[in-house]
């Protein structure tokens, strides 16, 4: 097992042991790629949602929220292209009986070649030190050049095969690249087939003539079909945005990697409606803005990278992914897409209703263009916990597992811990807890040695522990212990709320 896999296993086990994430219906042995968020997970998830919602809706006066239903008229999915084109190419290995996405097998092969290039570059950077010219090295080193050539040769065939749904070409590429099944190691593949990812169900009873409806595979369409409702009732002027957080469902072919790829998941999407012609400018703006949002949490910059799409979706004229360095490597956490007027245009065509904007500055009507930011809430959750999970050896030789969750997102903000369960300390602690609970989610604990209680709070990422001791009874001061440094300081009990609020706030200082 490599280091990343080992760490990932520990993170999954930790999430279960400390009430962050449980497999769905666990007493029935779980349901594949569906998970439940436990007491700490639900809090962390809510805090991530809150951070996103505030950044979008509260901090931008021209972005408003929406909460559309999961079920939508079936024609929505015809207009959006999902009925005809929301397919993944699947392939089975005949020996292991494992199913894969053909495009992912090829992408993983490309990623391995990229990894080889990066290793060469890193080695050379070490050898040459300050004088290293990376651009020149990439352009002239024969081994790097050979691998770049290989990647280009693959893409020349891979991109059109995906765009045109040429499944035979994908199969031919997999065979020529000698891609083997990671489980059986064999190259005994079936043909590639298309598989639609939407879940469907029936609405109404069969005798009524039940109609086929879909569980939405993305939240975006709820925004598009409400574009005019919001624009008119909110008297919105371009550019303006509509933000939404909600469940989405995809019958993923390969659903492994914990909450990274689930069949039921949550998205946080924002569609920004702009004047046609300005979409590239706004695309650049949102690309930078979204990176800033991620970095404001204090997650190191090296954990992110931008991936430009080689293959654009049928609706886009520009697209990037923000990728995060998950324990299993760099993968998409958020997509930023310039969707043109594809969606509004398609809904106008299919519904026969005008979805336009009357521009009071130019006295003309037109269909706005859209720049979308779309982040998976569960992937953001996974990014936060995988970055936070830390095993530490302390100076006294003991070990602790601490979740360095950004304080603003931590499930519990404060633990109130009387040093001993006697001498009036619990009463004093309760009194403080009862005041603080109106400002933050707090925990009160008076059982076990204080060291063990600190460890339990570290393991769920509580940023501040307040200890009540005998001195508290004399001068009403308490100690506040900071999770990451374990430093303690004495402060007046009445200042706790103010001190913690200031430390966890996103407000610019």
Q: Which is nearer to ligand ATP, 93 or 374 (CB)?
A: 374
CB of 15 to ligand ATP, least distance (A): 15
User: Binding residue for ligand ATP (CB under 6 A) from 36, 120, 332, 439?
Assistant: 332
Nearest to 178 by CA among 103, 111, 109: 109
Q: Which is nearer to ligand ATP, 100 or 357 (CB)?
A: 100
CB of 45 to ligand ATP, least distance (A): 13
Contacts of 64 (CB under 8 A, 6+ apart): 57, 230, 234, 236, 240, 241, 242, 243
CA distances 401 to 13, 22, 445, 465, Å, are 12, 19, 19, 16
Exposed / middle / buried, residue 80 (Cβ in 10 Å: 0-12, 13-18, 19+): buried
| Binding to ligand ATP in span 201-230, by CB under 6 A | 218
Q: Which is nearer to ligand ATP, 258 or 273 (CB)?
A: 258
CB of 221 to ligand ATP, least distance (A): 12
CB of 372 to ligand ATP, least distance (A): 9
Q: Are 48 and 377 in contact (CB under 8 A)?
A: yes
Place of tokens 């929220």: 65
Q: Which is nearer to ligand ATP, 381 or 444 (CB)?
A: 381
Between vectors from CA 292 to CA 286 and to CA 298, what angle results, nearest 5°? 155
DSSP classification of residue 57: I
CB of 384 to ligand ATP, least distance (A): 13
Contacts of 224 (CB under 8 A, 6+ apart): 80, 271, 343, 344, 347, 355, 370
Is 325 near ligand ATP (CB under 6 A)?
A: no
Distance, CA of 286 to CA of 293 (rounded, Å): 10
Q: Are 18 and 459 in contact (CB under 8 A)?
A: yes
CB of 97 to ligand ATP, least distance (A): 22
User: Binding residue for ligand ATP (CB under 6 A) from 21, 333, 415, 417?
Assistant: 333
Distance, CA of 106 to CA of 167 (rounded, Å): 13
CB of 335 to ligand ATP, least distance (A): 4
CB of 50 to ligand ATP, least distance (A): 18
CB of 472 to ligand ATP, least distance (A): 46
Q: Are 335 and 286 in contact (CB under 8 A)?
A: no
**Binding letters toward ligand ATP, positions 360-389, x by CB under 6 A:** --------------xxx-xx----------
Q: Which is nearer to ligand ATP, 193 or 237 (CB)?
A: 193
Q: Which is nearer to ligand ATP, 337 or 413 (CB)?
A: 337
DSSP string, 322-372: EEEEETTEEEEEEEEEEEETHHHHHHHHHH-----EEETTTTEEEPPEEEE
Is 108 near ligand ATP (CB under 6 A)?
A: no
Distance, CA of 406 to CA of 415 (rounded, Å): 16
The number of residues that bind ligand ATP (CB under 6 A) is 16
Q: Which is nearer to ligand ATP, 378 or 446 (CB)?
A: 378
CB of 394 to ligand ATP, least distance (A): 36
Residue 293 CB coordination number (10 Å): 17
Residue sitting closest to ligand ATP (CB): 376
Tokens of 303: 């954990």
Q: Could you give the angle at which helices 167-176 and 102-128 cross, rounded to 10 degrees?
A: 40
Is 334 near ligand ATP (CB under 6 A)?
A: yes
| Binding to ligand ATP in span 250-279, by CB under 6 A | 250, 252, 261-262, 265, 267
Q: Which is nearer to ligand ATP, 257 or 477 (CB)?
A: 257
Q: Which is nearer to ligand ATP, 252 or 289 (CB)?
A: 252
Distance, CA of 394 to CA of 420 (rounded, Å): 24
Q: Which is nearer to ligand ATP, 327 or 418 (CB)?
A: 327
Alpha helices in 247-321 (DSSP H): 279-295
Count, residues in the chain = 509
CB of 501 to ligand ATP, least distance (A): 31
Q: Which is nearer to ligand ATP, 379 or 428 (CB)?
A: 379
Residue ranges binding ligand ATP (CB under 6 A): 218, 250, 252, 261-262, 265, 267, 332-335, 374-376, 378-379
């Amino acid at each position: 097992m490599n280091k990343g896999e080992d760490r990932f296993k520990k993170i999954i086990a930790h999430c279960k042991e400390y009430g962050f994430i449980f497999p769905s219906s666990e007493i029935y042995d779980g349901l594949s790629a569906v998970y439940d968020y436990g007491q700490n997970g639900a809090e962390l998830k809510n805090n991530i949602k809150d951070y996103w919602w505030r950044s979008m809706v509260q901090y931008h006066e021209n972005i408003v929220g929406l909460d559309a239903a999961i079920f939508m008229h079936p024609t929505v999915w015809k207009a959006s292209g999902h009925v005809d084109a929301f397919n993944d190419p699947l392939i089975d290995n005949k020996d292991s009986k494992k199913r894969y996405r053909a495009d992912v097998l090829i992408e993983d092969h490309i990623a391995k070649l990229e990894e080889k290039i990066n290793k060469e570059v890193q080695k050379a950077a070490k050898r040459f030190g300050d004088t290293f010219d990376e651009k020149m090295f990439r352009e002239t080193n024969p081994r790097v050049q050979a691998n770049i050539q290989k990647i280009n040769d693959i893409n020349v065939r891979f991109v059109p095969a995906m765009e045109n749904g040429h499944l035979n070409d994908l199969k031919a590429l997999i065979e020529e690249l000698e891609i083997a099944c990671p489980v059986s190691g064999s190259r005994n593949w079936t043909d590639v087939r298309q598989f639609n990812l939407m879940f469907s169900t029936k609405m109404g009873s069969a005798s009524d003539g039940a109609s086929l409806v879909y569980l939405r595979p993305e939240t975006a369409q709820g925004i598009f079909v409400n574009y005019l409702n919001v624009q008119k009732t909110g008297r919105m002027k371009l550019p303006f945005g509509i933000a939404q957080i909600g469940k989405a469902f995809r019958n993923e072919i390969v659903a492994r990697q914990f909450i990274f790829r689930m069949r039921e998941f949550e998205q946080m999407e924002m569609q920004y409606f702009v004047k046609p012609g300005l979409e590239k400018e706004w695309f650049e703006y949102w690309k930078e803005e979204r990176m800033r949002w991620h970095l404001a949490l204090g997650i190191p910059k090296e954990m992110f990278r931008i991936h430009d799409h080689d293959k654009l979706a049928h609706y886009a004229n520009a697209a990037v992914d923000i990728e995060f360095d998950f324990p299993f490597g760099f993968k998409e956490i958020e997509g930023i897409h310039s969707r043109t007027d594809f969606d509004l245009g398609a809904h106008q065509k299919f519904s026969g209703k005008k979805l336009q904007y009357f521009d009071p500055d130019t006295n003309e009507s037109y269909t706005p263009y859209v720049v979308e930011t779309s982040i998976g809430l569960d992937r953001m959750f996974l990014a936060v916990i995988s970055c936070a999970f830390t095993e530490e050896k302390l100076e006294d030789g003991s070990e602790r597992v601490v979740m360095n969750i950004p304080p603003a997102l931590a499930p519990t903000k404060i633990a109130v811990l009387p040093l001993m369960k006697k001498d009036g300390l619990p009463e004093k602690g309760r009194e403080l807890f009862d005041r603080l609970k109106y400002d933050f989610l707090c925990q009160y604990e008076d059982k076990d040695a204080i060291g063990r209680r600190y460890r339990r709070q570290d393991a769920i990422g509580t940023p501040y522990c307040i200890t009540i001791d005998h001195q508290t009874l004399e001068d009403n001061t308490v100690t506040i212990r900071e999770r990451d440094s374990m430093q303690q300081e004495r402060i007046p009990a009445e200042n706790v709320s103010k001190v913690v609020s200031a430390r966890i706030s996103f407000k610019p200082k």
